Amino acid sequence: MNNTQWLKRLIAAAALPLAACGGTDTVVEDREISVETMPVNGDTLGFWIMQTETCLDGAAAICINDNSPYSNDLVLEDASLQPVVERYMERGNSDIGGKIIQINADDEALPAQLRTPEDSLFAATPIGEVFAIHLRFKPAAGEALQTLMSLGTGVFNVEAGSASVVVQFPVQGKRLLLPLEGPERWNELYIVSDGQNVSLQLNCENGPGFGKTAGAPLLSRTASALMLGARPTTPASEHFSGQVDMLRVSRVNEANLFCQ
């Protein structure tokens, strides 16, 4: 970080009251910790900051590099789960160290999504009951909900529109809603489970949660692929057309790294 960038961050931080994780007073817009300094270990199942690379198999135009130890690259596919051979998704650099991507821009005629391949950890191993998910996104302009992330339609889904973000746990029959402040703002969503209780934070403010219903898993007892920008059988109108610059999935209930 150069002196000019540091000065901008210092001025921005001084202009805002400090807020601890879970506070209800203030949303701190500026972050001192970039995504590159977030810890990575064997419990980090996937960590994507939207760094694009050429796919190893050459079939798809773009893969998103996984910074976890498991190399679960996200592969660009169309709605029929076939590799997309040509696509431009990058929309510059984010303020936390990663790239910004927009999978489905307004000028794209065919919907697409990113998905972990069949040989990935997500396709072979269930996430389990204890987990943490960090997701940083900017919704599209319309109020209609679009699928931002999915672990399978009947397992776990995140939908977002300009006015709200919805987190779904279908096996538990739970649908948690959080209001958003429009399409111009980046949002940091944190979802965590200790195995018995699920809680949400949005921009470091506490959101809704629930206790696990006995006899049913929070997610699924079987493994499923991870999808970003859609879910299986998603209609074209519901593919996510906003912007994303980070997704992190861990199999421990790590603290909200956005707030540190």
Tokens 């029929």 correspond to: 80
236-260 CB burial, b ≥16 within 10 A, e <16 = eebbbbbbbbbbbbbbbbbebbbbe
pLDDT at 5 over 50: no
The two three-digit tokens of residue 24, written as one number: 């209800």
Give the residue-averaged pLDDT of 226-241: 91
Q: In the chain, which residue ranges form alpha helices assigned H by DSSP?
A: 3-14, 121-124
Q: Report percent pLDDT > 70 for the chain.
A: 85
Q: 10 Å Cβ neighbour count for 108?
A: 16
Can you name the residues that pair with 246 across neighbouring β-strands?
136
pTM for this predicted structure: 0.85
CA distance 177 to 101: 24
Task: Give the domains, in start order, of the chain with CATH numbers.
Answer: 41-250 (2.60.120.200)
Give tens-digit pLDDT for 143-192.
Answer: 899 999 999 999 999 999 999 999 999 999 999 999 999 888 999 999 99
For residue 117, which phi and psi values (nearest 5 degrees)?
-75, 175
HSE-up of 235 (CA within 13 Å, CB side)? 5
Judge whether 105 and 198 are in contact, CB under 8 Å.
Answer: no
- Residue pair 149/258 in contact (Cβ under 8 Å)? The answer is no
Question: What average pLDDT does the segment 227-247 reach?
Answer: 92
Tell me, rounded to whole angstroms, the distance of Cα 110 from its chain centroid.
22
